[in-house]
Chains A and B, each alone.
Chain A
Amino acid sequence: MFMWNDGDLNDEQVAAIEEEKSVFLVACPGSGKTRTLTYKIARELSKLETEKKWVLAITYTNRAANEIQDRIEAMGVNTDQLWIGTIHSFCLEWIIKPYGIYHEQLKFGYRIINSHDTELIQTNLCASCPPPRVTHFDCNHFFDSTGLQISCADYRRGNVESVLREYHSLIKQNRQVDFEHILWYSYELIIQKPSISKLLSKIFSYVLVDEYQDTKEIQYHILAAVMKAGRGKVKAFVVGDPNQAIFTSLGGYAITVEELSRLTEIELRSMELSSNYRSSQRIINYFSHFKVNDSRIQSHANHKLYSSLISHDVQTSRDDLIDEIARLIRLNIEDYGFSPNEVCVVGPWWIHLATLTRGLVGALPEYSFDGPGLTPFVRDTENFWYKLARIVLTKPSPQMYVRRLRWSKEVISYLSDAGIDVSKLSTKEFLREANQIKIEEQDGLVYLQLFFDELFEKLSIVYDDFQVLQEHRDAFFQSSQARINRIRSEGVDFAGDIETFHRAFEGRKGVTVSSIHGVKGAEFDAVIAFAMLEDIVPHFSDPDPRDSAKKLLYVIGSRARKNLHLISEQGRNQAHPTKELSELRFDYSNLLAAD
């Protein structure tokens, strides 16, 4: 069996990993949650006694899935019998593809569309709507076990409902399936055909769920059906932190251990990871004020006693925001000696982070930035051409070999699903063909087009014949073009260069700029957050504003190892700092403004 070295794990982690029963693990920030999950998976994989059993791990992002898989492989554990990925990928791979033939809406064939397609269709429908005006942003919706749930609760709801009605009938008619429907159809299938969960429960010996606090009700139901069908033979390992449940507007919520036990009909043992290895005690003390659920947190960081800078700025005006953030970045890098890679700027996700990034690029030309505004394409992992672009834009190297091989496997299996005969195509051959292509072209999108065409010609595949590939191609290039145009219009001329494309896959470099939701799971020496304003944090439409505000602040605060700077700038339409901040009495550090 897979064993670890002394000192790799602490007692709480070991206890969770060695627990034979199903585990419901509440993990405080920085407690080595992913590490624990990774070791648990490795251990369960090595315990498999037959080649017919699999371990299922659900992560919140594909990136997390890739990382965990890489780490397990690096430990020398065979991952052939591990299926790890997002809930959407899981539903697609294990429910929709094999059992879709039993669903009226799927049995005549279907195509998955991505968020960009959804956005386009909804924008068109919104345009033809009578007042009040609605945009696709207002059309937030999700499915739970009772059906469609629309987030919009104000006077525009009527319009939103009619747009969504038309949108749904349109995609049904076109046999398209969007991300929300992947879940809804999977749920319908798993409810209507009990054999599905029964069979899956025989295949999976373990179901591990990461970040349960952001899991939706319908997702709990799908996974619980599998666990329940196993009648105790399928073990669960559910990890997360209810204090960090920041996806409630998308339907995510932190289930309680009691509710999960009831759904799955399995006995879950509540356990805890309470040692924080990330933050100084001062940081922990600070973000602990925003706890919604009570839990213990102990600093075990080497820099436990670090005298952290923690500031809350309510003076800076909106116009000076970029300068102030630039000043703080400089302060942390130049005075405190943090690496630029370890500094992060976060803002709420509906603020135009791209503009901010580009402003910072202008203000701090000597530093590089990694922000959402700079990637020339959408990271849409369900898009075929994005999958392919990953291979095209990364260079062959021994370090990348396994990963690129995995990507090729994904690409080939996608082609096969699309109805292309790939019986003669091996992953290695595919990589070899791709590696041999040399394109001399500076424009990134043209480069990709030429590359794709040449690759497909080499493989003698005519992708025009396959509607799904055609649709994905249009979506990929159109959304990328739109993005590049937007970035260029704001003065970043190199946005479309092939170097920028390559850089998108070169790992994190420079100061990170991210939304609050985007820094989930990450950590930095210094975190600078702005727009900490009532009606932004929390969002004005949030049905439970106080809890949401706390969780957002909790997440932001717990990203920081050492220094934390919060800014509630003046001059926005939202004039008041977030209530939880203005009400908090805390011994903030005194930050002298630079002269």
Chain B
Amino acid sequence: MHLSKVSIVNYRNFSNAKFLFSKGINTIIGENGSGKTNLFRAIRLLLDDSIRRSAMRLEEKDFFRGLSDWRGHWIIISLEFDEVSQDEAIQALFLHGAGNIETGTVNRATYNLIFRPKMSVRNDLSQLTLGDTTGLNHILDSLSIDDYETVITGKSSADFNNPLVYNALVGDFETVLFPSEIDESEIGARVPLILSMPREVSFTFVQALRDVVSEFHNNRTNPLLTLLKSKSGEINQAEFSPIVDQVTDLNTAIDELSDVTTVRDDIKDTINDAVGDAYSPQSLSIKSDLPDEAEQLFQSLKLFIAEADDGYEGAIHEMSLGGANLIYLTLKLLEFKYQRNNQSIANFLLIEEPEAHIHTHIQKSLFDKINYSNTQVIYSTHSSHISEASNVESINILGKVGGKYQAFQPTTGLTPSQIGCVQRYLDAVRSNLLFAKSVVLVEGDAEEILIPTLIKKVLGISLDELGISLVNIRSTGFENVALLFHEERIRKKCSIITDLDTTFFDTADVVGDTDAVKNAKKKALGSEASGLARKTALDIFCNDNSWLNPFYAPHTFEVDLIAVGNQDKFVSVLKDVYTDIATIATSTTELKSGDISVFGKRALTMATHSGKGWFAIILAKIVDHNTVIPEYILDAIIFAHGSFSDEVVFKILSYRLLKIIEDSDKQQTIVNDTLLQEEQWYTDWNIYLESRRGSISAFKLSLQAFQEGLLDINLLKDAMRTNFQNDVINPILERI
């Protein structure tokens, strides 16, 4: 038996989330604050024996914060179990309370926590007439958390993740339609008192710890004590009684120490002196109080470990942080093993961010080995090292869609062979594909190197800051990876950038063409044809998928980079590519020709000459804020990122202003340092720079006004355009 689904409605940061789990190891991937801990808390409420039962009584703050008002709403936490068998006696009690027998055989079971208004409130709501908003508000306004009840049900049939089902059960707050009675087979029957899941399963939760040492110091949380305690119950009395005798002897010996008796007598005398006989205590003694009970005695046991080979055994607080964490995790695992020996119907091990416990290099091997039989392990992580150790089919990804956190299962609806491809890709490439907020897929080194630089230099913001991961799929084929992004799977935006490879020179046969020319033309035509075919296939692949969009470089990345106006950049790296002066001169002319058939050929020749990757690195050096970003790249970034927040635009504009100031300062310095020019030259420049400085001050004021809330972002964009008409950011601003 294993946990197969967790549905959460209106709990903490989840409005409505569905998690799917499989046997064995499962991974939850999500950024900080995406709700990994809340998911674990939800599961623990229903299964963890170490959580106080009173915790099931939820509180106001447990309601999804996105609800305009929690009053009247329900919180539902529903666990679904799979591979249960009505033939196994050990599971019978569980299935009696939770098993869904609708179909005649039991193959799944549900166990739900429902936190809802008490029956009297639900009755009142059901009696409202359709559309009676005033009546509704009247009831809701008077509700407090004391009007709520927790019910634990089993055998539910409803799909709580379906908003229509929620409306039917809870009611419709818009139209004021609340059910007067509900089919209880939907929410399930109350679980009989004799069934308490935390007692039936063994469950261990290892929380993410940043301070293991204090955990060891606290008697309640010290995992060593928990282990010893579980053993102290079954201690062998024959073995233990001599120890008790020794403790008693020891206590007496300490009591009789001459120093101790002296102190005692002195205390007595002092009291007598101070208050006199009448008010002094009758007797007074100092006693050694070493415990003689196993449990208490065990509390004095401590763990000592030698980390290095010098043989020195130190206490936990002397250990390295990683070492201490490893010990902590080990003890928790042992605690789990002890538990598992009990007659439990299922075993669960939840580990929160194991990367907080252990070093990267141990992570993978640990999770390869932690595979206990008949145990379901669920861990949350934001380490790509750990996520690799698990199967892509047992991963849940937490992500934000429309302001709400949801869980995605990356392989829903994929064929086994598709899943195999994805799995092998993820195994081979340590990729942060699954961790990104959004993704841009490219298939060449040049794009992988240059696109991040272009964005960072022009916008002043890195792709990371925009939450975009740029992934080079090399020659894997976009489809094999891009299929992860889908309404049913990962609901995150994914842009695909690829070359259309349209020919940029006349490919018509001309009399007198050399064989080489003929070949080149033929090859170009071939590329064009296959580019077109690729586009057709990719368009079909992305069609009807709002999470996926292809973007095409009209020709080839390098060619289109010049085409949008970056020829000077290419010219400035010529000397890094060629050494021959004549070649450099020819190339300069060609690059500046403005004729794509000429600069295009040169650009490709340069790239081929250096190697595409190396050429990209050379180019990256000279990419600056005045570089023009090709349209299709911008489109891809904007699609992946979605709309840019005002704060981000403000950041970009502040950055642009900084660069404009630097440029204008530089120009001023050049003008100042340049000698022997005509008077007019200086006059023109100084007039220009003067007006520039005027624009700068004006725009500074605009930025300030925006910050103070006096100017909205569109007016700020206008101010940019008015003050700096030719800045490369202006066309971009129109788009974001």
Contacts and interface: CB of A to CB of B under 8 A. Distances in A.
A93 B195 CA distance: 13
A194 interface: yes
A408 to B, nearest CB: 13
Interface stretch (B133-141, B184-192, B446-454): B184-192
A108 B184 contact: yes
B192 A109 contact: no
Given A52-B92, A107-B183, A465-B119, A199 B57 contact: no
B118 interface: yes
B104 A193 contact: yes
Nearest to B106: A195
Nearest to B56: A423
A53 B93 CA distance: 8
Interface string B429-464: 000000000000000000000000000000000000
Interface residues of B, number: 42
Contact of B89 (A53, A101, A195): A53
Interface string A165-207: 0000000000000000000000000000111101110110000
A50 interface: yes
Given A195-B104, A423-B54, A109 B92 contact: no
Contacts of A424: 54, 57
Interface string A57-96: 0000000000000000000000000000000000001100
Contacts of A465: 118-120, 123
B192 A98 contact: yes
Contacts of B123: 465
A203 B192 CA distance: 13
Is the interface on chain A under 10, 10 to 19, 20 to 34, or 35 or more residues? 35 or more
B104 A108 contact: no
B155 interface: yes
B183 A196 contact: no
A488 interface: no
A84 to B, nearest CB: 14
A10 interface: no
A466 interface: yes
A193 B185 CA distance: 14
Contacts of B154: 98
A416 interface: yes
Given A199-B99, A423-B56, A194 B104 contact: yes
Interface in A376-432: 413, 416-417, 419-421, 423-424
Given A102-B102, A194-B104, A419 B92 contact: no
A102 to B, nearest CB: 6
A203 to B, nearest CB: 5
Nearest to B88: A202
B150 A97 contact: no
Contacts of A50: 89-90, 343
B239 interface: no
Interface string B142-156: 000000111100110
Given A93-B192, A424-B54, A199 B343 contact: no
Contact of B101 (A52, A196, A413, A423): A196
Interface string B1-25: 0000000000000000000000000
Contacts of A199: 86, 92, 95-96, 99, 101, 106
B97 interface: yes
B604 interface: no
B89 A202 contact: yes
A99 B190 CA distance: 10
A109 B56 CA distance: 24
Most B CB contacts (10 A, CB to CB) among A100, A101, A424 go to: A101
Given A52-B343, A101-B188, A423-B54, A413 B104 contact: no
Contacts of B593: none
B90 A52 contact: yes
B92 A203 contact: yes
A423 B57 contact: yes
B105 A52 contact: no
Contact of A108 (B155, B181, B190): B181
Contacts of A421: 57, 118, 148-150
A94 B154 CA distance: 14
A99 B101 contact: yes
B168 to A, nearest CB: 13
A470 B93 CA distance: 33
Contact of A423 (B88, B95, B120, B150): B150
B193 interface: yes
B182 interface: yes
A196 B92 CA distance: 10
Contact of B86 (A51, A198, A416): A198
A250 B733 CA distance: 88
A462 interface: yes
A99 B154 CA distance: 10
B181 A99 contact: no
Nearest to A466: B119
A417 B118 contact: no
Contacts of B118: 419-421, 465
A423 to B, nearest CB: 5
B53 interface: yes
A203 B181 contact: no
A467 to B, nearest CB: 9
B94 to A, nearest CB: 9
A163 B35 CA distance: 60
A108 B182 contact: yes
Given A108-B184, A109-B184, A202-B86, A195 B99 contact: yes
B189 A97 contact: yes
Nearest to B148: A421
Contacts of A195: 86, 95, 99, 101, 104-106
A203 B154 CA distance: 17
Interface in A103-127: 107-109
Nearest to B183: A107
Given A52-B92, A53-B89, A97-B192, A419 B119 contact: yes
B189 A99 contact: yes
A208 B86 CA distance: 23
Contacts of B87: 198, 202
Nearest to A50: B343
A107 B104 contact: no
Given A52-B90, A413-B193, A101 B185 contact: yes
Most A Cβ at <10 Å: residue of B87, B106, B120, B182: B120
Interface string A325-368: 00000000000000000000000000000000000000000000
A417 B189 contact: no
Contacts of A200: 92, 96
A99 to B, nearest CB: 7
B343 A416 contact: no
B189 A100 contact: yes
A54 to B, nearest CB: 8
B106 to A, nearest CB: 6
Contacts of B181: 108-109
A199 B99 CA distance: 10
A29 to B, nearest CB: 36
A108 to B, nearest CB: 5
Interface of A: 50-53, 93-94, 97-102, 107-109, 193-196, 198-200, 202-203, 413, 416-417, 419-421, 423-424, 462, 465-466
Interface of B: 53-54, 56-57, 86-93, 95-97, 99, 101-102, 104-106, 118-120, 123, 148-151, 154-155, 181-185, 188-190, 192-193, 343
| Pairs of residues from A and B, 6 with the lowest C-beta to C-beta distance, nearest first | A202-B92, A465-B120, A195-B101, A421-B149, A101-B185, A419-B119
9 contacts: A100-B184, A100-B189, A102-B102, A108-B181, A193-B104, A199-B96, A203-B92, A423-B150, A465-B123
Given A98-B97, A202-B91, 19 more contacts: A50-B90, A52-B90, A94-B96, A98-B96, A98-B189, A101-B183, A101-B185, A102-B101, A107-B183, A193-B101, A193-B104, A195-B105, A416-B190, A417-B190, A419-B151, A421-B57, A421-B148, A423-B57, A465-B118
